[in-house]
A and B are shown apart, each in its own frame.
Chain A
Amino acid sequence: MEARRQPARIHRFRPALITQTDDALPEYMNLIGMICSMCALMLKIKWCAWIALFAAIVGFANARATEDTKQVLSSLMLSISAVVITYMQNPTPMTIPFFQ
């Protein structure tokens, strides 16, 4: 078995060799997070802010290690600020329009 080892045939790892899968969930979550944050901030819709927060957290949980952490963090911060600002503008409880 030891005869199998050959130092001469060592090749370095290249990230491009990882099997590509069509998993675009982090990107979708990022996009949904940003759109919902903007809607919440501009249109003062509370449930949008909460959805943005969830989307940011799901995107963070599914993020790849190679992705830019700044992107993930900024999405998270934006959604948190959307929630906080929406409640400061209007402290009344949230009403979900579909159920009323």
Chain B
Amino acid sequence: MRSSMTILFILFNLLSYFTWSVAKKMKDEDFSEFDDFDEDEFVVESPSSPSASQLPSKMQSKKPEVVNTDYSFQSPSSKSADIKVNDEVTIDDEDEDDDLMFDEEEFETSDGYSSSSPTTSTIPDLKITEIPASLTGNHWEAYHCEAIMLLLLLSYLINFLLGRSKNARLADIVYRSQRDLLERNFCLVGDNGQTRTTQSADDSTINDSTTNKMQKESESLYILWCSGRTAIESMLMEVRLAKRQCLFNSLAAMIKSSNDMLIYTADYSKEDMETFVFCLAKKHCAAKLHRDMNDLSQFCSERKTADKRGLNNGNYQILSEIGEVSSAIIDNRVVDFIEKYPDVLEYIHISDQYTGMKIQNDTQQTSPNTANTTSNAGSAAPQQDALNTSERSVRHVLIIAFNLVARNSRSLEITTETVCSDYLRFVLQLIDRVNSFRFTLKESKNKAIKNRQRIEEQFLKNVYQQRQEQAQQRREEKRRAEKEKIMQSDDPERQRKWEEKEHKREMKRRQPKMKQMKVKAM
């Protein structure tokens, strides 16, 4: 597809050149009648043609318009007068026969006029009109806006190609630095979900070590699916790079910096994970997650600054549902990692009630769900089917996000190559830690159960309300359709009967419902 794009752009350039040549030809044809001028055409026979026509003004640039109507007022003494206009056009009155018309005795002119004859050095007051540059010849400099646009286009294309190749190189480096560790931990590394059979590492061919199994979702997003490991069902690795392929994004990034990120999302089954919601994130990120993530806003009431060893600088904040989780998860390994790689860890989000972001949750809650453990994030389903189920689609996830930043004055590629395997090792350790963690205090478990029951009740109430509204809407539509049908049929009797029925229904609805009491006969 991309190579066909380059061909298309070459075609576009050819087409635009063709358009310019056609436009130039048309313009030349339009103005060809004004191209050649003989000087003789400027000779004006003033006595015979008192109403001499004006010269065409589009002839040449900076040629003044010569108004010949004044010619008729000139004194007869200027028979052979030359009117020199910018020394380029001379109008000669050579026809002496015309003098017969201007007999001196017949016409009297004032002396003032003779003094203002063209034989003197007065130059008539000439108005120079400005002619657009495009009409005066093939001046490409008139098209400066178009040139700027084409230059911008060209620079955007060059930036696209360079940015795309850099992103692809970075993703490749990430994959190659983690490939061995991934293949040692997972049976399935790299799957697009569409091929019939999966390629397990046991059936590896010779080419496997060189082929990049990452999937390209866009020019700035590469994903890798891993599955077949203890403790988790699957792990999705997302390499979310800055949009280097888009020039405008790159310019915007100069104002508001955006990092390249590496996000690992591990999915657990229900039995593999304890029931809690926890998040350790950088300050700015914590606020955003608390606002946008459904589970964090529902289960975690407040944000606390992380003040443990190694996190004293106040960079990180904790959102935790259950108190004991913080000390269990943020152990020495986490602290050591943060000390070794400061500013690399963006956030850790652990949740057994993960339903995505708040905006998308409106569609998620109404999507069908077969079991609580399977995920259905972001899938669009008809609302009708969705309301038949009363279960929320939740996922049990561990999400860790790292920033890919250049360290120790090395380039980004070299840094990425050296540290990626450390990140993956940290992720795998945390996966095992979460899998093995269980509540020690009974009240933690009770609190978790109580919170989940509360949220479940809220959800069921919403679903019930939505169902009621839908049923009401359906009833209204049915009634409307019935009414239309009755009105369209020309039978007045039927109409009357239907109206009566409607009236009765309305009265019945308005009346308060009375409870009937049966009185036993004594």
Contact = CB atoms under 8 A, between A and B. Distances in A.
Contact of A13 (B193, B245, B356, B357): B193
Contact of A62 (B26, B149, B246): B246
A84 B19 CA distance: 7
Interface string A1-32: 11111111111111111111010000000000
Contacts of B248: 58
Nearest to B147: A93
Contacts of B152: 54
A91 B19 CA distance: 9
Interface stretch (B230-238, B323-331, B384-392): B230-238
A18 to B, nearest CB: 6
B222 to A, nearest CB: 10
B185 A16 contact: no
A12 B12 contact: no
B16 interface: yes
A50 B320 CA distance: 52
Contact of B185 (A5, A19, A66, A88): A5
Contacts, number: 147
A14 B428 CA distance: 22
Contact of A11 (B22, B146, B233, B376): B233
B236 A7 contact: no
A65 to B, nearest CB: 5
B223 A18 contact: yes
B495 interface: no
Given A5-B187, A17-B377, A64-B218, A12 B198 contact: yes
Interface centre among A16, A62, A84, A93 (most CB of B within 10 A): A93
Contacts of A71: none
Interface in A41-78: 47, 50, 53-54, 57-58, 60-66, 69, 76
Instruction: Say which size band chain A's interface belongs to.
Output: 35 or more
Interface string B161-204: 00000000000000000000000111110011100001011000
A61 B357 contact: no
Max count, chain B CB within 10 A of own CB: residue among A12, A20, A58, A64? A12
B107 interface: no
Contacts of A61: 156, 160, 219, 245-246
Of the candidates A1, A11, A83, A94, the one having the most CB atoms from chain B within 10 angstroms of its own CB is: A11
B142 interface: yes
Given A16-B376, A18-B236, A64-B217, A10 B227 contact: yes
B188 A10 contact: yes
A7 B377 contact: no
A65 B185 contact: no
A62 B187 contact: no
Nearest to A59: B246
B191 A20 contact: no
Contacts of B267: 17
A44 B193 CA distance: 48
A80 interface: yes
Contacts of A17: 234, 236, 265, 267, 375, 377
B396 to A, nearest CB: 13
A62 B142 CA distance: 34
Interface in B355-385: 356-357, 359-360, 375-379
B187 to A, nearest CB: 5
A93 B228 contact: no
B229 interface: yes
B1 interface: yes
Given A54-B153, A91-B26, A16 B379 contact: yes
Contacts of A57: 153, 156-157
B289 interface: no
B461 interface: no
A82 B454 CA distance: 57
A20 B360 contact: yes
Contacts of A65: 215-218
A5 B188 CA distance: 9
B153 A94 contact: no
Given A20-B357, A58-B156, 15 more contacts: A4-B185, A10-B188, A10-B200, A13-B192, A16-B379, A17-B265, A19-B263, A54-B153, A61-B156, A65-B218, A69-B1, A76-B8, A88-B19, A93-B143, A93-B146
Interface of A: 1-20, 22, 47, 50, 53-54, 57-58, 60-66, 69, 76, 80, 83-84, 87-88, 91-96
13 contacts: A4-B184, A5-B187, A5-B201, A6-B229, A14-B375, A19-B263, A53-B153, A61-B219, A62-B218, A65-B216, A83-B16, A84-B16, A94-B145
